[in-house]
Amino acid sequence: MTAQVRFTNLMSMDPPDHSRLRRLVAKAFTAARVEQLRERTQRIADRLVDDMVRAGPSADLVDDFAVPLPATVMCELLGVPVADRQLFHGWVEVVVSATSRSDAKIREYNARLAHYIAGLIQRRRVEPSDADLIGALVRARDSEDRLSERELVGLVVLLLGVGFETTSTEIPNFVYTLLTGAGGWDQLRAQPQLSPLAVDELIRYVPIISYATFPRYAVQDLPLDGGVIRAGEAVLVHQAAANRDERVFADPDRLDFTRSPNPHLSFGHGPHHCLGAPLARMQLQVALATLLRRLPRLRLAVREEEIPWKRGLSVRGPSALPVTW
């Protein structure tokens, strides 16, 4: 069951099953629905900064802000108890391991996460609700037979895991980038109206995936410079390289907060374009704008070379980011 839960999800499916499952959750992630969550996200962000300031004048931006912000938003959207955040966050970090954990350990934590999600699903069967996404998916399973039990568990595992792990990693990635070599913090502090464009530029500029992810397979012969990819052959695509394509982006190695349009591929493309892209973009906009407004003199509390980084995971970013103001 563990391997099936791990791989039976939107990221590894093709139509028609992919289309069927994506439609079930798409309404929760439309731009209009996400905008309704912006005010609540802002309140969470301000509360977290309030807590940091009270405990300050220093903090670990990862534990004190970057993780709890998207975790709380995703928990409330799905219908997961926020109090369980520390519990499933530890499981998710193992699940997204690339080389830091053994296959046996990854299978074990996949099973734990799947068991936890199955318990939440059973609770929704006892206490039905239309106020959260798990409740809506349970209704689609039980009353409408639009997905299997395995697909139901796999969908929630994917949304809960990927849904906040990537955003919680990008927040410290962005702040680290703005406070170090590439710079930009002072510019955004002086021109906060650039924050929305800055978020998309940082998404393009800062790679979050540490490798080329899963293979794609050519459905027909595809001529490329230097040869031909034959139908059926596997292809590994590194999106970060595409985001620095000089044929698409002028001066691609420069951080440009006025870059528009910005057709980066960080959220994928086509049918597999990231379902949660509007939610991730909104949360990153709120996070960056809040830090710039509330902590304008934010700076690293340690030397750059002392910052610890995640190792052996499929996502790259600081495992802690000591800051002061």
Per-residue pLDDT reduced to its tens digit, 232-270: 999 888 888 899 999 999 999 999 999 999 999 998 888
For residue 308, the model assigns a pLDDT of: 96
Per DSSP, the three-state class of 255 is coil
Question: Which has the closest alpha carbon to 182: 201, 158, 157?
Answer: 201
Question: Prior bond to 252 cis, omega within 30?
Answer: no
Residue from 199, 166, 204, 215 nearest 317 by CA = 166
Please give the pLDDT value at position 319.
Answer: 94
CB atoms within 10 A of CB 102: 11
The structure's pTM equals 0.89
- Are the C-beta atoms of residues 229 and 221 closer than 8 Å to each other? yes
pLDDT at 210: 64
Place of tokens 């990862």: 62
Q: Which CATH architecture best describes the domain 2-324?
A: Orthogonal Bundle (1.10)
Q: Is 318 left (phi over 0), alpha (psi -120 to 50) or beta?
A: beta
* The pLDDT of residue 4: 38
Q: At what angle do helices 195-205 and 277-294 cross, to 10 degrees?
A: 120
| Predicted pLDDT at 9 | 65
CA 57 to chain centre: 28
Give the pLDDT of the chain (325 residues) as one tens digit per residue: 333 344 456 777 788 888 888 888 888 888 888 999 999 999 999 999 999 999 989 999 999 999 999 999 999 999 999 888 877 777 777 766 667 677 788 788 888 888 899 999 999 999 988 888 999 899 888 888 788 888 888 888 888 877 788 899 999 999 999 999 878 999 999 999 999 999 999 999 998 886 666 788 899 999 988 889 999 999 888 888 899 999 999 999 999 999 999 999 998 888 888 888 999 999 999 999 999 999 999 999 999 999 999 887 778 899 999 999 9
pLDDT of residue 303: 96
Closest by CA position to 141, among listed 20, 265, 58, 273: 20
CA distance 317 to 125: 38
Residues 150/5, Cβ–Cβ less than 8 Å: yes
If residue 222 lies in a helix (H) or strand (E), which one and from where to where? strand 222-224
Q: For position 237, what pLDDT does the model report? A: 80
